[in-house]
């Protein structure tokens, strides 16, 4: 049983339609984890989201989650409500969770932001790609891309100009810092497990 409950007025809605890559603005960060892929997968799945995603760069971290689907957040279609350290929430849904012996791809869509920092965003698309690097190492590449609200700044300027401004002011600054802190936390959690 979760200690978290939906905020007043919360209504579960379908995620927004996801644009092709040309309709989103993205940022990529990566890190090498000194553990084999199988150990990394086990560690990531055993580590709470609140540990993997701390506050950083002036952006909130995760305090906890509330499952919105019976099988939790792991399977494709799984949803949860994410509670952030600034008292706001987002909804997330898994859209891909595929594994091979050398690779793990975990993609999810994020929407329903209630934090002011996300005012220009219609949705986010998170993409974790873990791949075996040999010699007991795993590379994690995390791509985060966003669909902008077309009726607000900077989205009304279009993806080319509005996306450039978002990258300049947010994605390459505070958001990059937040992503790097998350990857560092993931690496630490994975390498702390034997």
**pLDDT tens digits, residue range 54-112?**
999 999 999 999 999 999 899 999 999 999 999 999 999 999 999 999 999 999 999 99
Q: What domains appear along the chain, each with residue ranges and CATH number?
A: 25-48+96-192 (3.30.530.20)
Closest CA relative to residue 44, chosen from 101, 104, 108, 121: 104
- The secondary structure of 105-130 as a DSSP string is EEEEEEE---SGGGTTEEEEEEEEEE
pLDDT of residue 1: 46
| Residue keyed to tokens 């979760």 | 2
pLDDT at 2: 60
pTM tops 0.95:
no
What does the pLDDT look like over 123-146, one tens digit per residue?
999 999 999 998 899 999 999 999
Write down the pLDDT at residue 194.
63
pLDDT digits (tens, 9 = 90+) for 113-124: 998 878 889 999
Q: Using the 8-state DSSP alphabet, how is residue 151 labeled?
A: T
Average per-residue pLDDT for the chain: 92
Output the pLDDT for position 164: 82
**Token pair for 175:** 């958001």
Q: Pick the residue with more confidence: 2 or 181?
A: 181
Percent of the chain with pLDDT over 90: 76
What is the rounded radius of gyration, in angstroms, for the C-alpha atoms of the chain?
17
Q: Look up tokens 């793990």; give the residue.
A: 104
């Amino acid at each position: 049983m979760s200690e978290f409950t939906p905020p007043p007025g919360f209504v579960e809605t379908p995620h927004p339609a996801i644009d092709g890559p040309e309709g989103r603005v993205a940022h990529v960060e990566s890190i090498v984890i000194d553990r084999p892929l199988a150990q990394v997968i086990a560690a990531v799945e055993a580590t709470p989201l609140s540990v993997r995603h701390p506050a950083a760069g002036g952006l909130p971290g995760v305090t906890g989650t509330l499952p919105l689907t019976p099988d939790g957040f792991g399977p494709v279609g799984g949803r949860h409500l994410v509670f952030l350290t600034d008292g706001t929430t987002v909804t997330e849904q898994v859209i891909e969770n595929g594994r091979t012996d050398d690779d793990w791809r975990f993609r999810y869509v994020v929407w329903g932001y209630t934090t002011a920092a996300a005012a220009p965003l219609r949705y986010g698309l998170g993409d974790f790609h873990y791949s075996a690097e040999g010699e007991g190492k795993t590379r994690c590449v995390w791509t985060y891309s966003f669909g902008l609200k077309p009726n607000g700044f900077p989205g009304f300027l279009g993806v080319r100009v509005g996306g450039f401004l978002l990258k300049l002011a947010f994605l390459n600054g505070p958001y990059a810092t937040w992503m790097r802190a998350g990857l560092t936390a993931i690496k630490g959690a994975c390498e702390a497990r034997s």
